[in-house]
Amino acid sequence: MSLEVSDLDVHYGRTRALRRVSLSVAPGQTLGVIGETGSGKSTLARAVVGLVRPSAGRITVDGEEVTRYRARQWRALRRRGVVQYVFQDPLRSLDPDVTVEDSIVEPLLIQGRPRREAADRARRLAARVHLDEELLSRLPGELSGGQRQRVTVARALVTDPRVVILDEPVSALDAANRVRALELLKQLRDAGTALVFISHDLGSVAGVADRIAVLYQGGIVEEGPARTVVNAPRHPYARLLVGSAPTLRSAAADRAQREELRELLQNIGGPA
């Protein structure tokens, strides 16, 4: 497995943001993680790249047990480019004073690759994510939201990572660029990269994920092959999500049915 998480708990003070989360992603596999706002999606992403410390559980990346790594060890792991992430907000993850090209080549320079080789690779990757070469000399503030997001994708892929975590990667893109981004994800998968694709929108995950995990109040309430989760969700919350994404199914749950599921959810409460 490229990524294995077992019984992961994360606390922020007294708030338990993740509860006993377990998942695994094989090379070349895409796991979609869906859940509403506050369900713990970003916390999960941040935990598996070492940006928040779990209070319990285990994380293994590319066969390496990393749970108890210190910040320095996590930095070294990220620098080696084994695990990469693309966060929701590209402005936050790009340095405003660094050009697009320098941002993309930085992970390679840190690895000690020659500048020329790194620059060639940056240009090839920019082309792959459909960024015009003339944009390479610009600063992030001089790009559109969608262009910035493609820069963060190029930067994440430049080291040929084994595991990539994408937190709402296509939310800022328009329809045409979204299709391109999804094509790129498919190429990555074909190259053997394990992908974790996090979103609040089941519709955008369903087309690319092999498996889907449904996160609800910090716990995974359902996990299975994408087709099964979309066509025959069992947990009331998963059924609610499917019913709220009418493009997914011809027989979408109608309003009354959704109300009924909401009520049921209220009665059963959150995950144990």
Ligand X SMILES: Nc1ncnc2c1ncn2[C@@H]1O[C@H](COP(=O)(O)OP(=O)(O)OP(=O)(O)O)[C@@H](O)[C@H]1O
Q: How far apart are CA 69 and CA 53, in angstroms?
A: 9
Least distance from ligand X to the Cβ atom of residue 149, Å: 16
- CA distances from residue 242 to 8, 210, 213 in whole angstroms, order as listed: 26, 16, 13
Pick 24 or 171: Cβ nearer ligand X: 171
The three state secondary structure string of 77-131 is HHHCCCEEEECCCHHHHCCCCCCHHHHHHHHHHHCCCCHHHHHHHHHHHHHHCCC
In angstroms, how far is CA 258 from the centroid of its own chain?
27
Q: Which residue has the tokens 């092959």?
A: 225
| Cβ-based burial of 53 (10 A; exposed 0-12, middle 13-18, buried ≥19) | middle
Least distance from ligand X to the Cβ atom of residue 234, Å: 21
Pick 80 or 200: Cβ nearer ligand X: 200
Pick 104 or 195: Cβ nearer ligand X: 195
Backbone torsions φ then ψ of 265, nearest 5 degrees: -60, -45
In the 8-state DSSP scheme, what is residue 145?
Answer: H
Least distance from ligand X to the Cβ atom of residue 254, Å: 26
Least distance from ligand X to the Cβ atom of residue 237, Å: 13
Pick 38 or 63: Cβ nearer ligand X: 38
Least distance from ligand X to the Cβ atom of residue 54, Å: 13
Least distance from ligand X to the Cβ atom of residue 42, Å: 3
- Write out the H or E segment, with its range, that includes residue 158: none
Pick 158 or 229: Cβ nearer ligand X: 229
Q: How far apart are CA 141 and CA 258, in angstroms?
A: 42
**What is the contact surface with ligand X in residues (CB under 6 A)?**
12, 15, 17, 35, 37-43, 200
- Write out the H or E segment, with its range, that includes residue 165: strand 163-167
Least distance from ligand X to the Cβ atom of residue 33, Å: 9
Pick 27 or 270: Cβ nearer ligand X: 270
Pick 88 or 103: Cβ nearer ligand X: 88
- What residues have CB less than 8 Å from 60, skipping those under 6 apart? 1, 3, 4, 5, 66, 67
